[in-house]
Chain A
């Protein structure tokens, strides 16, 4: 056997998908799975039609509707009042029919947010290359896939060639070792990382998350972390597949079965980063130091611990950074030094491709059992998919949420980006389990604070941010 140079998880997946490596040009990377949704695809399908090109591999292409669909009621989804949104969804239906792409439409039992249904159906598997015209495609990296978001020109490129020209990214390993303290979740890990390295901290890199705290996470938690890799600027986030991954995948609709399963596990197990493989950068985090984390500003890197305050300006910051800091405080209507626990909220959103999986809903439901949503707060839960919704209803979680005063809705991207009727009013302050707190992201003038599902649930009850580590569970289903 020849001596192979030790390789990282990313390098192995990259090497296995190289179609061509022309000198002086980007490499041509084969794409195993292309996920499509209504917002970033119509111009790509049009491009194919105009050039007289075919969609090369409909069998490697899957579509759903998520960004635009109303979440208020089944009826509202069948006849969409917003004519422009309706036209875009109709365009996807026509395009999928014309080009032979399977579409999980609104009435499908498998419809949901694209990054939630891929894993649920077993379409997402370790060692694959996965792209989608959506930056949160990094979610699928939780399975050890190389998954990243692309623009519409690239969507068209993948449709026509099933490949993408790509410059090889650099690698960054973030090792989170130790045991997560009580009340601290995967969301807090990733918010902490973004706070530490900044929203451009991983630009040009593929991040591999490693360490005992990552290993101890469920697939849901791992997906939350990989999902927000893009918020640190990363091209993708990845976690090596292990027994947790295999348990999740076993028996899924499109997972291998029988002898093929064993063969698949053998292949997947060969993907982990070799001992001695080199990363361009390394970062080590001690899990024991983490606390429940809240964003205070208008960028996902503007974070602080729940026990802390809105930060004071950094005297050493550059002019542009100082302006950004002041602008964020003004937009958020906050003053430096204000304790986070004193910030009152108007809305709560539990949902999105970051935190709308069954584990997220279970954790939030356990916390609110026996409590009522504060009279000053409007709270909603938007399951990530029809499957999540059905599972939650089978477990009675919908009843827990509704009894507490939460609005229980139909699956979709909803208020994560407010392309649908779910938006904040100007000035409203929201505790949100989503991924972006940009100005106007959840509605013009809306103020978003990113938190974990349990922190959002606790804020809904208390009417202000509150430390979940001090929470008194009433339902007996605590922790």
Chain B
């Protein structure tokens, strides 16, 4: 995991609530056994015209197809972003496409965890602030937003300034690019002791043998 602190970028606006992981990365791309290369399939269906003679061609009204947002490292979205399936492919697709942060009023639990494991910064702002930033990025694709993780602030080049909450441990891991398994293994002695005792509690065993 790469350590991250400050990020300044233009932002791609998607003012839709409840964007589910089926939309972020449709099922047909979950059959791959690799961890990389999902970016080209990000929002696969929403990026394409779904009906009529032009079916399958790029839908130019979709923000991610608009060349003015090319290179955006920040995505702004509606509430409950990342709901639905547990597929980490959603986080892989977003990072592979180039997004390092998502700003939204709220996130679904499993996606929130998956994003953190992949070094993404998820910023929760009020619905009002998210709307404001969305409108600014829609009006002016060159609108730049800066997220500072250490200071827990969001600012933009039009005078917006806000703060966001983040769990201190998650912040520490993101700032230092820490690997979870390595962190857990600091508790290996406690784990060994717990496991020895717990293995004796037969009700905890999946396969109880007579």
A interface residues (Cβ-Cβ under 8 A, vs B): 16-17, 19-20, 22, 24-26, 28, 30, 32-33, 39-40, 42-43, 46, 51, 53, 59-60, 62, 67-68, 82, 84-85, 87-88, 91, 122-123, 125-128, 133-135, 149-154, 156-157, 160-163, 165, 167, 199-200, 203-204, 230, 233, 235, 254-258, 260, 263-264, 267-268, 299, 318-321, 323-324, 327, 417-419, 426, 436, 438-441, 444-445
- Chain B: minimal CB distance from A264 (Å): 5
The reply to whether B169 and A445 contact each other, CB–CB distance below 8 Å, is no
| B16 interface neighbour in A40, A60, A323, Cβ under 8 Å | A323
Question: If the complex has contacts A53-B181, A151-B86, A153-B117, are A84 and B32 also in contact, measured as CB distance less than 8 A?
Answer: yes
Asked whether, in the complex, the Cβ of B26 is within 8 Å of the Cβ of A440, the reply is yes
Which A residues are in CB contact (< 8 Å) with B113? 150-151, 154
Complex partner residue of B50 from A16, A299, A444, CB under 8 angstroms: A444
Contact (Cβ within 8 A) B202 A264 = yes
- 17 more A-B residue pairs beyond the given contacts A263-B202, A438-B20, with a C-beta to C-beta distance below 8 A: A24-B169, A30-B191, A53-B181, A123-B206, A128-B204, A135-B84, A152-B89, A154-B113, A200-B83, A203-B108, A230-B110, A260-B210, A267-B203, A417-B27, A438-B22, A439-B22, A445-B51
Cross-chain contact B206 with A165 (CB below 8 angstroms): no
Query: CB-nearest residue of chain B relative to A25?
Result: B169
Q: Are B108 and A256 in contact (CB under 8 A)?
A: no
Query: 10 tightest A-B contacts by CB?
Result: A151-B114, A151-B88, A153-B117, A42-B33, A200-B80, A149-B86, A320-B78, A152-B88, A135-B86, A84-B31
- B→A interface (CB under 8 Å): 15-18, 20, 22-23, 26-28, 30-35, 45, 50-51, 78-80, 83-89, 91, 106, 108-110, 113-114, 117-118, 127, 131, 167-169, 180-181, 183-185, 187, 190-191, 194-195, 198, 202-208, 210
CB distance A233 to B206 under 8 Å? no
Contacts of B180 in A (CB 8 A): 153, 157, 165
**A438 in contact with B181 (CB, 8 Å):** no
Subset of 10 A-B contacts with CB under 8 Å: A24-B169, A150-B86, A151-B87, A154-B117, A157-B181, A161-B184, A254-B208, A255-B208, A324-B17, A324-B78
Residues of A within 8 A of B87 (CB): 39-40, 151
Q: Are B84 and A88 in contact (CB under 8 A)?
A: no
Judging by beta carbons under 8 Å apart, are A157 and B202 in contact? no
Give Cα A202–Cα B136 distance, bound, in whole angstroms.
Answer: 31
Q: Most chain-B Cβ atoms within 10 A of its Cβ — which of A17, A32, A151, A439?
A: A151
